[in-house]
Structure 1
Amino acid sequence: MELEMEGLKPAAVYVTSPTYHGICSNLSEISRMCHSQGIPLIVDEAHGAHLGFHSQFPCSALQQGADLVVQSTHKVLCSLQQSSMLHMSGNLVDRGRICRCLQTIQSTSPSYLLLASLDAARSHLSENPEGILEKALKIAVEAKDMIEKLPGVSVLGFQSFPKFPAIDPLRLTIGFEQLGLSGHDAYEILYKDHEIVGELVGTRCITFAFNLGSSREHVQRLVSGLKHIVSSPAFIQGDKRRKKHVDSAPFADIRTSLIPRDAFFKSKRKMSIENCIGEVCGELICPYPPGIPAMIPGETITERALNYLLDVRSKGAIIVGASDPQLSSIVVCNS
């Protein structure tokens, strides 16, 4: 509405669906609203290349009317790492312009190994998509049924997101707050003692992904590892160990003093973290996971953002982008 008052129109609407945890947006309604105004819908469907290929999966972004869809084929459909696809539909997006843009940014020496793996994944899935994905679906459902019965852990489901239309059944997110454990604490036990590798480790939970290579042996090992955690005397009295809750990012009080480009070229200095509140951040600080920047160049540093960064670092997150990963200091822009 604000753009209309200024005589402007959005170039496109960009949505991430599903999220890393498998939460899906109502893309049908979003695309309907966009198309009624002649605006294309772009969907980052990196974690949903398999959607729409099984009757019990949510519909894909293309099936719901998206105009441009980016998928990471390797995440579930098992092409080689870094291989992905760009899909187009409808007439709102100029195909010629997309091709010219791709020619501008793509290498003239593409990896034919990656391209071949994409074609192999496509060919494999086209033979019998429902049957191929059935095994992974059954294993995922069995795993959730068993884990939901374990005391002290929680499984992300519709009760947490009642307004969202669907959740990817091949994603399993397990919370450990009742045990007083962070996701990093739990993951260290699962990885070191049971050789279990998670898809995404967070401050409160771990997300696991099922794909075409998942087996019941993997599920049995995961359940066994979780049973070991919940039965450990050190965690049974978890309420006494629970750490103080710190607000999660993103924050509602973000204020930028410079656009990122101007901040990039600005002269800078290092400042101790105790004294940098109110200064203009000069570097991109991104805790992983989740891999989403908590502060970007040009943003005014707040106490709330610093507390969040220090909290996730104390729980095992890796700080990417910062010149000092331990966060004893931060690079700020000179005034």
Structure 2
Amino acid sequence: MANTNENRNNFIVSEDIPKITQTISTNSNSNDDDDDDDVPPLIRALKATEERKAFHFHFPGHIRGKAAPTSMTELIGTNPFVHDVTELSDLDNFFCPKGPLLEAKKEAAELFGAKESWFLVGGTSCGVQASIMATCSPGETIILQRNAHVSATAGVIFSGAVPRYIFPQYNCDWDIAAGVTPLQVETAIKDCSFECRKIGAVFVTSPTYNGICTNLTEISKICHSNNTPLIVDEAHGAHFKFHPKMPKTALNQGADIVIQSTHKVLFSLSQSSMLHISNSKMVDRERLHKCLHILQTTSPSWLLLASLDATRHRLSTNPHTLFIESVKFADEAKMLINKIPGISILDPSTFPDFPAIMDPLRITVGVWGLGISGFQANRVLDNDLGIISELVSTKSLTLAFSQGTTSEHVHRLVSGFEELSTMFYARNCEKEKVNYTIDGNAIFDNLEMSLNPREAFFARKTKLKLEECIGEACGESICPYPPGIPVLVPGEVITNSVLGYLKKIISQGGFVIGAADPLLSTIVVCKKS
């Protein structure tokens, strides 16, 4: 089903670019952080602590690099250690900021359009878990799309909530799931009401790892009309506010809590993320703050925090220009790769019953037309051609473009897929398409939950051989990684089709996380009472 103009208006608006009053540089790669008159608050504070030249009798024990391991300083130098400090008086208190961290948080909230923003040093996973704990109490229902990240399962276990899953549209040719529709959310809310189940929150992932976005505008209206907060895992969409071709942000579509991985397409250090709340009254701010306090470390890395502030500063200085080249390179790569024999590009038409809008900086390339799996294609691209993908799946590879992408990247990427086509297309073009799915069905079809995740997590367990597990309640989260989406969560009944899918993942060179036995010769199951 083609997107209507009305659908597109729910997602893309040029007005979504922040109106920043600073002078906008025309050089997107300018080193704007070196201007002493306009230094981000946390960078300024870290510089001040270094300039004091004080005598340090506090953690960490390397004392600003004086005792840093030589093997590390040979790798990264001593500067990172100089600024790896604890909560000094010159800095701030992580959980109760009153100085530069508070200033940095306020400026981040203004930039991203939030009522309040938190800096996270435990990744988006920590923010997802805290959001679920802050909105759902034990026994309450959380409406949750089934292809959510494993951190959402952890949040369900921590909170004691009971999941009511929504199953996204699934394309067997690609072995990829899309998002969820407003109608699915509305139906789930009505079903819970009919069953007298109290709903704590609705949890949606948008965009997915493949860059597929959900119509959050309509979903937020449905949630709010039912007095239910909407949590959005926007880990892969922190950059959406900064180019007119990007989808609308979750905040601008009415979400109440949004968690973003600022380290993915944006520029902060790995493990650093942000959590934003809207002006909605649906969220208990104090409860959310306490949940973050419980889950985050009491020894935060100020390098991670400073990288978040520096990223915010750079975005504020050049909001209109940073991703112009990146989008141009991604568009060029898509056009050229799509012409290669045996290669396909994921686009909105892949999901005819889901009005998909795609992240222009995420490209998913299908390789089943070459008669090979995504894992086989990745071995050639990575090992032989030096091209490293972000995500490898049974039938495709996903590539992430960013401001660091150059014309040389595009040329090398296109040449790599051309070489891949030359190697495999001619010898396999007459063969029947390789089928890496299970009987053409989505792996999430007909899942049954015999225990809720928290009950299963704390239940007595035993290990069974693979062939003995069918029909048992799974006692662990098992998910291919990346993307970190569980194929089995604690409490779900193990089926033959799911086991077959997992075995194919491993046999093709993939791997799983969460399982006590990563080779899956055994699975942990819940003992029957």
Report the TM range for the smaller structure's normalisation. Answer: over 0.9
- Partner residue of 1:49? 238
Q: Are 1:323 and 2:512 an aligned pair?
A: no
Secondary structure class of the residue paired with 2:328: helix
- Give distance in 2, aligned partners of 1:224 and 1:214: 16
Q: 2:191 aligns to what? A: 2
Find the aligned partners of 1:277 and 1:77 in 2 and give their Cα distance. Answer: 43
Q: 1:201 to 1:98 in 2, by over 3 A?
A: same
| Coordinate RMSD, CA, aligned | 2.0
Task: Give the match for residue 310 of structure 1.
Answer: 503
Comparing 230-239 with 204-213, greater Cα deviation is found at: 230-239
Alpha-carbon deviation of 1:165? 4.5
Cα deviation, 1:163-203, whole Å, max 9, x if unaligned, reads 32521000000000111111110011000111111111000
Amino acid at match of 2:310: A
Determine if contact 1:21/1:173 at 8 Å carries over to the other structure.
Answer: yes
- Mapped to 2, the partners of 1:236 and 1:128 lie a distance apart of 49
Greater relative CO, 1 or 2 (CA 8 Å, sep 6+): 2
1:1-335 pair list within 5 angstroms: 1-90=190-279, 91-162=281-352, 163-232=354-423, 236-240=427-431, 242-247=433-438, 250-335=443-528
Alpha-carbon offset, residue 233 of structure 1: 5.2
- Describe the superposition over 1:40-77 as per-residue Cα deviations: whole angstroms up to 9, x where unpaired: 21111000001022111111111111111000001011
Cα distance, 1:223 vs. partner? 0.8
**Larger of the two Rg values belongs to structure:** 2
Contact 2:369–2:425 (Cα < 8 Å) also in 1: no
Which ranges of structure 2 fall in alignment gaps of 5 or more residues? 1-189
Change (3 A) 1:328 1:190: same
Q: CA 1:265–1:11 in 2, change beyond 3 Å: closer, same or farther?
A: closer
Which deviates further from its counterpart, 206-215 or 305-314? Answer: 305-314
**SS class of match (1:187):** helix
For 2:395 and 2:208, how far apart are their aligned partners in 1? 17
Q: 1:234 to 1:57 in 2, by over 3 A?
A: closer
Q: Distance in 2 between matches of 1:13 and 1:267?
A: 30
Question: CA, structure 1 residues 155+165, in 2 after alignment: closer, same or farther (shift >3 Å)?
Answer: closer
Deviations 1:10-29 (A, max 9, x none): 22211110111111111111
Measure the CA separation in 2 of the matches of 1:76 and 1:265.
Answer: 37
Cα 1:95–1:333 shift into 2, 3 Å: closer
Summarize the Cα distance change of 1:273–1:97 in structure 2 as closer, same or farther, 3 Å threshold: closer
For normalisation by structure 2, the TM-score amounts to 0.60
Task: Give SS of 1:229's match.
Answer: helix
Separation of aligned partners in 2, 1:233 and 1:34? 49
Q: Which secondary structure does the structure 1 equivalent of 2:289 belong to?
A: helix
Hey, what's the Cα distance between the residues in 2 that align with 1:6 and 1:295? 25
Q: Structure 1's 9 and 297: CA in aligned 2 closer, same or farther, altered over 3 A? A: closer
Classify 1:265/1:4 alpha carbon distance in 2 versus 1 (closer, same or farther; 3 Å): closer
Gaps of 5+ in 1: none
Aligned to 2:114: none
Distance, in Å, in 2 between the alignment partners of 1:4 and 1:216 is 54
Distance 1:37 1:267 in 2: 38
Per-residue CA deviations over 1:249-271 (Å, capped at 9, x if unaligned) read 54222223333344344444333
Secondary structure of 1:271's aligned partner: strand
Among the aligned pairs, what percent are the same residue? 52
1:229–1:235 contact (8 Å) kept in structure 2: no
**Aligned residue pairs, count:** 335
- Worse overlay, 262-271 or 285-294: 262-271
Normalised by the size of structure 1, how large is the TM-score? 0.93
Distance apart, 1:239 and its partner CA: 4.7
Paired amino acid for 2:525: V
Q: Distance in 1 between matches of 2:318 and 2:237?
A: 18
Pair 1:180–1:259, CA change in 2 (3 A) = same
What secondary structure sits across from 2:476 in the alignment? coil
The one-letter amino acid of 2:512's match is: I
